[in-house]
Amino acid sequence: MKTVFTVLALVALLIAPLIVTDPFYVHLMIMVLMWTVLGVAWNILGGYAGQVSFGHSAFLGVGAYSTMILYLNLGISPWYGIVLGGLVSALIALPIGLICFRLRGPYFALSTLAVAEIVRLVALNWESLTNGPVGLLITTLPPVSLWGEPLNWESKTPFYYIIALIAAGALGITFLLARSRLGAYLLAIREDIDSAEAIGINTVQARVSALALSAFVAGVGGGFYAMYLRYVDPDAVFSISLSVEMVFIAVVGGLTTVIGPFIGAVFLVTLGETFRTHFLWGHLVFYGLFMMVAIRYMPEGIWGRVRKLIGNRVGVQNG
């Protein structure tokens, strides 16, 4: 049953741009998938490991800047650069994890907020590398041919397939994580860190691994973001509100579920982007509203609730 759903979903993902041709909707699908990736990244740490971070924009931003700088300064094609950007993010995450994981619960959350602000200020002021508040801009992407046909970067379709691939990969990572030994460790840490420690789990190592994995996925999402917009500046990729958006997508969609972040992204990003076409400012107003509603009435999120309602019948307990 589940395999059927997965195959159907992949087919739908593959043919979606053939059916939907309106540029706004293609853009919408790209944004939904990109935020799925970012929500997945946050869910690995905030959901599975239960470590609430308010600083994930740091990893998104480092990934975005790395991809951009590697392309501009070293001429490394973004299609490797996106992955390298993710790796740089994961690398940055190691010292951050070792510092912040000495703290627990809300204190951890506050410390990640502080770290992200420090990273933002570094990006803002390290002008020789980041070009400061002006940001970095690329005008052309390197030509790529697929089956003899050069890809048209002016159309959005190639971006759609790239982010669809990344999103499928990110969801696959969560799926595997949930079934791995590390995933089990993380759940134990989330439930009761002292007991997890007592039964011999190296909780620092497990949490740092989760953070690095989470940062990698966020960094890859950031690299894509930079290439899609062809532009990065500190406010665009390091702002606190980006971190908060990631949190909300994961929580509203359903924490500790594989496809929760996708559901959250479909719901919130569609609302946000539609709102943006009608009003100039304030497109995140519904994010805040639904976050409050979700915490109050269904802390398990949309997908968590759906799974509870239909779970026993269709057998998707682990989905």
Contact residues for other proteins, defined by CB under 8 A: 52, 54, 99, 102-103, 105-107, 109-111, 113-115, 117-118, 121-122, 124-125, 239-241, 244, 247-248, 251, 279-285, 287-292, 294-296, 299
Q: How near is the Cβ of 292 to other proteins at its closest, in Å?
A: 4
Q: How near is the Cβ of 316 to other proteins at its closest, in Å?
A: 26
CB closer to other proteins out of 226 and 291: 291
Q: Which of 266, 276, 237, 295 is nearest to 120 (CA)?
A: 237
Q: How near is the Cβ of 247 to other proteins at its closest, in Å?
A: 7
46 Rama sector, left if φ>0, alpha if ψ -120 to 50, beta otherwise: alpha
CB closer to other proteins out of 215 and 294: 294
Rg value, the chain, Cα: 19
204-207 LR contacts (CB < 8 Å, sep 24+):
204/98, 204/101, 206/49, 206/182, 207/49, 207/51, 207/97, 207/101
State both tokens at 224: 């894509």
Q: How near is the Cβ of 110 to other proteins at its closest, in Å?
A: 5
Q: How near is the Cβ of 9 to other proteins at its closest, in Å?
A: 29
What lies within 8 Å, CB to CB, of 232 at 6+ separation is 61, 64, 65, 68, 135, 136, 226
CB closer to other proteins out of 30 and 246: 246
Report helix, strand or coil for 146: strand
CB closer to other proteins out of 117 and 273: 117
CB closer to other proteins out of 163 and 193: 193
